[in-house]
Chains A and B, each alone.
Chain A
């Protein structure tokens, strides 16, 4: 497995420091810090409800954290809404996909960033043409351009969501279980896509329940449990079982037994 050399002496692309958020009484994310370097894939692992999605939604502007700070290229930034995140070239594939079911693939791909004609009217033909191009690259079997996305299969919907995240040259990509609805072949294609984006120097947060995927694709893994960060490890230094132990028991590899 060819790993690219990640230079961790430079400033990280993203630093999330001491992030907290709670919903009612639930501390969904509790003093969590993670970081991400250019060209790096960081896996976020944890049981259901550990707080992974919530953490990255703070980065993507869907939620505002109660406390903590976010730095991009070493600069402190305010991300108050998804527009702010997009302005920092952060793109997100949400676990829920976040597609408008009544619109077609092209309209979803460009939602919020429509191509317009010189009169300022949305240019559906141009958008469909671009959509055909990128889908041809990501999922050549995709043919349903005229239908609303509600008529698509789970995997086809997922490829629309992925296309939306990659189309607008992101520098920071968040993928929340991007392969959850994909067949083996499509999963393989996403793996290749991740390698390719990584080689372009894009930083990726990858949320996944598949330890094997994480071992193969990620450079580091951050494990969460009950809203807290268990630890961040270099994937080359640990085994599958170490990661499992972190996820299930919440214990650091090497340390003996639970706390």
Chain B
């Protein structure tokens, strides 16, 4: 939809490299800011920030907020807001924890460690999250209560429903298979990660080729071949580089020794093992792809953006905007449930304060990622990058030894500043 047009203006100016590659300037700006941030922290911490170990930790810490941020993009694009996501995460987490530790073993008699336990729990959590989301969406769409109010109420209700379900107790330990979704307890290892990386490269190259073929088929102008080549090179390097970094993080020797001892074996001399890509990160990538396709290539996505741009026009074009609202909030609820799996699995138990303040992080991630609160604009990859920037800022400051209150002050200031820069950028480029 965004390919350039040679005959746009009579005197086509010479294109610069960014235009030729058809790169998204805002995205480049964000990546640049992120790079500056990381390098800055790395310098200040004397090289401790950009280690494989810290990068691994950063990615797994980002996943839960990033998953919800992708859903928040749709909510904000349609000019709504969801303040209840952190609380909804807590309720879903509580439901899943109770299902696997109490309900399934005690009521249905599935023994602890039964292979179905994690999957049934996740299904129940997803169902609960989706239904609660749909219910809130129904109140917004059909009862026309402002989303701000519905979800502000939801924030209180679901936070305390979670509390009520568990009587405020920490529930755990969670099922070992379930825990694999948390990060360090479930990774693909070196070989698996390389295979996945290569598959991803193949997929990305096929995507580039396919889109070029379609454009040629319709007789549109396409990028010069060298530009496609550069783009393909950048993408390949980024994917494989990411895999290489995660693979460079090795399981500590003592932990490996314990693993061998547990199996009654002796660890061979010089044995090493990499963590590789965490399953939770894989889940985030999968969600990011699905949500991007949803946003750009499906009717649902088209209607979401049209409704955000002009609700009346959408309605007059025959779009059922009320039902659309229900779907968007239901999707948000489902994503909260998935985030709840990741977040509680990472902690290895359900704690009562899980997800506290996540609504603010999620909204901030989406907004830093370029989602306009006025509606109609926003991208999935932007929101994920936003989540990554927020998390890096927080972790980096902690590593440098910035006091907790000061950390929050900085994060708050950065949020406002990011939006200001975005406004100035849009004014300059003439986007509304």
Contact = CB atoms under 8 A, between A and B. Distances in A.
Given A82-B317, A111-B313, A146-B5, A100 B376 contact: yes
A16 B1 CA distance: 41
Contacts of A100: 305-307, 309-310, 313-314, 376
B298 A121 contact: yes
- Kindly name the residue among A81, A82, A108, A111 whose own CB sees the greatest number of chain B CB atoms within 10 A: A111
A116 B2 CA distance: 18
A102 B376 contact: yes
Contacts of B432: 101, 150
A125 to B, nearest CB: 5
A122 B316 CA distance: 20
- Kindly name the residue among B1, B220, B316 whose own CB sees the greatest number of chain A CB atoms within 10 A: B316
Interface stretch (B57-65, B210-218, B392-400): B210-218
Contact of A111 (B5, B214, B319): B319
A107 interface: yes
A93 to B, nearest CB: 11
B315 interface: yes
Contact of A146 (B3, B309, B310, B377): B3
Interface residues of B, number: 40
B7 A125 contact: no
A104 B1 CA distance: 8
A48 interface: no
Nearest to A127: B1
Interface in B279-302: 293, 297-299, 301-302
Given A121-B293, A125-B215, A146-B2, A86 B318 contact: yes
A100 B79 CA distance: 14
A1 B348 CA distance: 83
Given A100-B310, A102-B376, A125-B215, A114 B1 contact: no
B4 interface: yes
Given A98-B310, A98-B313, A125-B217, A82 B318 contact: yes
Nearest to B8: A143
- Size category of the A interface is 35 or more
B315 A96 contact: no
A84 to B, nearest CB: 9
Interface in A102-121: 102-104, 106-108, 111-114, 116, 120-121
Contact of A83 (B5, B299, B318): B318
A107 B297 contact: no
A103 B305 CA distance: 8
Contacts of B215: 125
A146 to B, nearest CB: 5
A242 interface: no
Contacts of B1: 104, 106-107, 124, 128, 146
B261 interface: no
Contacts of A92: 316
B268 interface: no
A141 B314 CA distance: 27
A129 B218 contact: yes
Nearest to B77: A102
Contacts of B302: 103, 107, 111, 114, 122
B297 A122 contact: yes
Interface in A231-257: none
A71 B124 CA distance: 50
Nearest to B217: A125
Contacts of A150: 431-432
B298 A112 contact: no
B8 A112 contact: no
Contacts of B317: 82, 98, 111-112
Contacts of A120: 298
A112 B310 CA distance: 13
A103 B214 contact: no
A146 B313 contact: no
A148 B300 CA distance: 19
B312 A112 contact: no
Contacts of A180: none
B430 interface: yes
B109 interface: no
Contacts of A94: 316
Contacts of A106: 1
B9 to A, nearest CB: 8
Nearest to B293: A121
A198 B225 CA distance: 48
Interface string A181-193: 0000000000000
Contacts of A104: 1
Nearest to B211: A125
A146 B299 contact: no
Nearest to B216: A125
B218 A128 contact: yes
Given A143-B8, A146-B3, A99 B217 contact: no
Question: When A and B form their complex, which 3 residue pairs have the shortest distance between CB atoms, in order from nearest?
Answer: A102-B309, A102-B376, A100-B309
Interface of B: 1-5, 7-8, 214-215, 217-220, 293, 297-299, 301-303, 305-310, 312-320, 376-377, 430-432
10 contacts: A92-B316, A94-B316, A100-B307, A100-B313, A101-B309, A103-B302, A103-B305, A111-B302, A121-B293, A128-B218
Given A107-B1, A146-B4, A146-B8, 10 more contacts: A86-B318, A98-B310, A98-B317, A100-B306, A102-B305, A104-B1, A129-B219, A143-B8, A145-B5, A146-B3
